[in-house]
Amino acid sequence: MRWLVGWSSAAVGAGAAGIAGAAGSAGATGYDGETVQPVGAQPLWGDPDPLWAVGDWRPDEVRVVAADAQTRIAVLGICGASDEQLRVALFAARGGALRHLTAWPGSYTAVVQVGRRITVCGDLAGARPVFHTPWASGTAYATAALPLADLVEANLDFGHLAALLATPDVPAALDDSTPYDGVKRVPPGHALILRAGAREIAGYEPVASLAVAAPS
């Protein structure tokens, strides 16, 4: 199993004042006051909004392209874009354009950092889902639900399990829920946008209405 995980908090950890790109925890601590970091993780960037890759990623499946210490894009998975294309996309995303981040060939997840704004793009089909949960006065996110459930010690969401059993062929019945209470899934065609811990779910793909006006 492999995933990416990161979080955004209103608090700014000590690492923000240190070396750019150093691994940090944005002030997040465990029950005994220890600094919280994923076990066996590869740090991609550090405080105040750290990001890690966890698991057996190949070197060519983890790329980070930076314009400066606070403007960068991480792509995890198989992505057909060149580093120059990623750099151009990073500047476009800085202005709010997101659709192109999912248009390259391959199967990947893109994470963009512009200052304290973190954008995590889900794909159109939902084949590479993104999950999030409130944590440590902010929001934690990952490409797997179980690590987030472990992080917040979530209980099972019996409503989700009941809907899954009752309507297994109707994804809309599950909405944004997961088997874990408090852990939510970003809908396909949407992005998770975090600003100093505050979260927003924004659609990046225009949706055409299927309604047809009645003839006059």
pLDDT digits (tens, 9 = 90+) for 40-65: 899 999 988 999 999 999 999 999 99
The helix (H) or strand (E) run that includes residue 149 is: helix 145-152
CATH code for the structural domain at 3-203: 3.60.20.10
Q: How many helices (H) and strands (E) does the chain have?
A: 3, 12
pLDDT at 115: 93
CB 120 within 8 A of CB 93: no
Token code pair at residue 154: 């979530």
pTM assigned to the model: 0.84
